[in-house]
Structure 1
Amino acid sequence: MQVVFLGTGAGMPSKQRNTSALALKLLEERGTVWLFDCGEAVQHQILRTSIKPRKVEKIFISHMHGDHLFGLPGLLGSRSFQGGEEPLDLYGPKDLKEYVEMTLRLSRTHLTYPIHFHEVSEGIVFEDDTMKVEAGLLEHVIPTYGFRIEQKDLLPKLDIDKARELGVPKGPLLAKLKAGESVVLPDGSLVESEQVTEAAQKGFTVSILGDTRLCNKSVELSREAHLVVHEATFDGETKKLAKEYGHSTTLDAASVASTANAGKLLVNHLSARFMPEDEKGLLAAMRQIHPNADIAHDFDEYGWNKKEHRIMKLE
């Protein structure tokens, strides 16, 4: 799993930061890419990465503000132009379906693939054998959802050589051992799963929190997460504005990660009022609350280290 920031700015694009968009690359886990928010010009940002629009399987839109979805119509069209035929799942607030269908209709944009719309509400919005996505209602000026993405633990890895040494024949008994069950061999001997398997690998948990005031739901969605991506439009000196406009400060984000006992914190959705020279001070203040914190920039990429069970920046 890798996380690629395609836009880390708030409200409108600047020379340093594009508007909100984040790609969760799940190429190893399921051969696809998930997008979280889709701000203006996201397809231009994608051109500077290795991401292929036709690989995008799901798009999650946190809320209906333009800086989080104005790039969606163009991306949907480009996915079609580039030969995308696989269905696309689109998750978001109830007005998202109307917005997409109206935009495509008025622009005469024909898609070569179907879109499956999923109206988001609190609770589990997607689950299969490998992944689970939970949504939670945050506190912004309009309904906004945060997302918790959990990879389910991988099955234990079977040691075929050990199994053969113990006399386990080819066939369904091997599958049972891999699934964690004990089996009885034809000669009556018992073989336990732990004897022929390595420990199951733990999955990752990522919390992606869009526009929100400091709230308990952010902490709930971030509990014990390996990575928390949290908006930080303001800083400690402008916290009054943050509360008024339904946003968080860098210190609020650090507080959420610390209270949730999370691993890595990456803040994004920074206001254009912050210049690159301001980041050193912002970062120092955040790290007093949550030491494992950083400020995300466009095209930063972070990956899941399975052996060390932590998020690391990729160079």
Structure 2
Amino acid sequence: MQITFLGTSSGVPTRSRNVSSVALRLPQRAEVWLFDCGEGTQHQFLKSDFKSSQIRRIFITHMHGDHIFGLMGLLASCGLAGNPQQRIDIYGPPQLNDYLQACRRYSQTRFSLPIKVHRVEPGKVFADEDFVVSCTQLEHRVPAFGYRVAERDRPGRFDVKRAQALGIPPGPIYGRLKQGEVVTLADGRRINGAELCGPPRPGRKLVYCTDTIFCQNAVDLADGADVLIHEATFSHQDAEMAYQRLHSTSTMAAQVALAAQVKQLIMTHFSPRYAPGNDIQLSDLLSEAQAIFPNTIMAHDFLTYAVPRQPEMALATSAGS
């Protein structure tokens, strides 16, 4: 699981930050899942090493423009290159399908690949053999949802040397034993695969919360996550503005991370008011958050973060311009 931030500004783009979009790369299945799709997201794709043909799922948090104005353009472009592409599944608030249908009708746009829109409600929104995605409602001026991507636990590591010592012949039987099956050998011995495997390896958990003010639902959604991506639109010094607009401060994001006992907090969705040269700058927001939750970093466009399998260390890198 690898996260790349395609837009980290709130409300409007700036010279260095586009509006909201986060790409989750799943290398084991050659897929990209998007979380929000602000204006200019497909331009950010062109500056990265992503391909639109890799997009398989798009999760929209709410209907504000800085989170959806790039969606119609991206969908209209997908598939135009003539490359075969699977259906794109889109998940979001009840109004999302009406919005896309209106855009298609008034622009007379025909998508060149299958699109399916799913109306989300709190609870499980998607599941397969590898992942479970759930959502909960946050507190914002319009209905807004946070998403949790949970990788399913994997079987423990198979002890090949022990299997060989027991005289178990290699081959398809090893695959069955790795899954914990009880297998009868040719000599009549019954081997319990679970006894040849280590403890299950927990799957990784990623949570995406924006836009919202501090709320218990965000804490519950983020419980024990490996990575929490949380909006931090305002500085703690501008808390009154955050309450008025139902956005989070840097300290609210840190409080969610602390209460949920996450491993890593990545803040995003910053107000342009904290530009270099102003009285309060983004470095101040980072200091505010780290005073509460030290394991906090600040996203910027094209920051890439690899979610580790414990006890490996995560790797954060910069890419693009």
TM over 0.5: yes
Report the alpha carbon displacement of residue 154 of structure 1 after superposing the two structures with TM.
Answer: 2.0
Deviation per residue, 1:233-275 (Å, 9 max, x gap): 1111111111111110000000000110001101111000012
Q: 1:191 — aligned with what?
A: 191
Q: Please, which of 278, 285, 288 is the counterpart of residue 288 of structure 2?
A: 285
The alignment status of 1:151 with 2:154, answered yes or no, reads no
Matches within 5 A, 1:40-79: 40-79=39-78
- How has the CA–CA distance of structure 1 residues 276 and 127 changed in structure 2, closer, same or farther, with 3 Å as cutoff? farther
Residue 79 of structure 2 is aligned to residue 80 of structure 1: yes
Aligned amino acid, residue 31 of structure 2: T
Structure 2 CA distance for aligned equivalents of residues 31 and 198 of structure 1:
28
Q: 1:109 to 1:86 in 2, by over 3 A?
A: same
Matched residue SS, 2:286: helix
Further displaced range: 188-197 or 212-221: 188-197
Q: How many residues align?
A: 314
Distance in 2 between the 1:309 and 1:182 partners? Answer: 32
Q: What's the offset of the Cα at 1:276?
A: 4.2
Aligned 8 A contact 2:63 2:93 in 1: yes
Shift of 1:44: 0.5
1:312 corresponds to 2:315: yes
Whether the 8 Å CA contact 2:183–2:192 is kept in 1: the answer is yes
> How far 1:129 moved relative to its partner?
0.7
* d(CA) in 2 for partners of 1:15, 1:33: 26
Q: Could you tell me whether the CA contact under 8 Å between 2:242 and 2:249 is conserved in 1?
A: yes
Contact kept? 1:263, 1:310, Cα under 8 Å: no
Provide the C-alpha distance between the structure 1 equivalents of 2:112 and 2:85, rounded to a whole number of angstroms.
6
Pairwise CA distance, 1:288 = 1.1
Aligned position for 1:6: 6
Residue 106 of structure 1 corresponds to 106
The 8 Å contact of residues 235 and 284 in structure 2, kept in 1 or not, is answered as no
**How far apart are the structure 1 equivalents of 2:118 and 2:150?**
19
- Equivalent AA in structure 1 for residue 36 of structure 2: D
* Number of the residue aligned with 1:16: 16
Q: SS where residue 6 of structure 2 aligns?
A: strand
Unaligned 5+ runs, structure 2? none
2:74 counterpart SS class: helix
4+ residue runs over 6 A deviation: none
Q: 2:89 is paired with a residue of what secondary structure? A: strand
8 Å CA contact retained: 1:61, 1:93: yes
Q: Which amino acid aligns with 1:40?
A: E
Alignment equivalent of 2:305, drawn from 302, 307, 313: 302
Write out per-residue CA displacement over residues 131-163 of structure 1, whole angstroms, 9 at most, x where no aligned residue. 000100000011000001101122334455643
Three-state SS of the structure 1 residue aligned to 2:35 is strand
Shift of 1:201: 3.1
Q: Tell me the SS of whatever aligns to 1:256.
A: helix
Segments of structure 1 that go 5 or more residues without pairing to the other structure are none
Q: Distance in 2 between matches of 1:279 and 1:134?
A: 31
Q: Counterpart amino acid of 1:52?
A: K
Q: Distance in 1 between matches of 2:80 and 2:156?
A: 41
For the 8 Å contact 1:144–1:212, the answer to whether it is kept is yes
Is the 2:178–2:194 contact (alpha carbons within 8 Å) kept by the matching residues of 1? Answer: no
Query: Which stretch of structure 1 is more off in the superposition, 31-40 or 274-283?
Result: 274-283
**Take 1:164 and 1:89, find their aligned partners in 2: how far apart are those partners?**
45
8 Å CA contact 2:227, 2:307 repeated in 1: no
Counterpart position of 1:227: 227
Name the % identity: 38
Please report the TM-score for the alignment, with normalisation by the length of structure 2.
0.92
SS of equivalent residue, structure 2 residue 129: coil
Contact 2:57–2:88 under 8 Å retained in 1? yes
* Structure 1 counterpart of 2:34: 35
Determine if contact 1:226/1:310 at 8 Å carries over to the other structure.
no
Over residues 63-110 of structure 1, what are the superposed CA-to-partner deviations in whole Å (9 max), with x where a residue is unaligned?
000000000011001112123531010000111111112212322222
Matches within 5 A, 1:231-242: 231-242=231-242
RMSD: 1.9
Indicate conservation of the 8 Å contact 1:149/1:206, yes or no: yes
TM-score by length of 1: 0.93
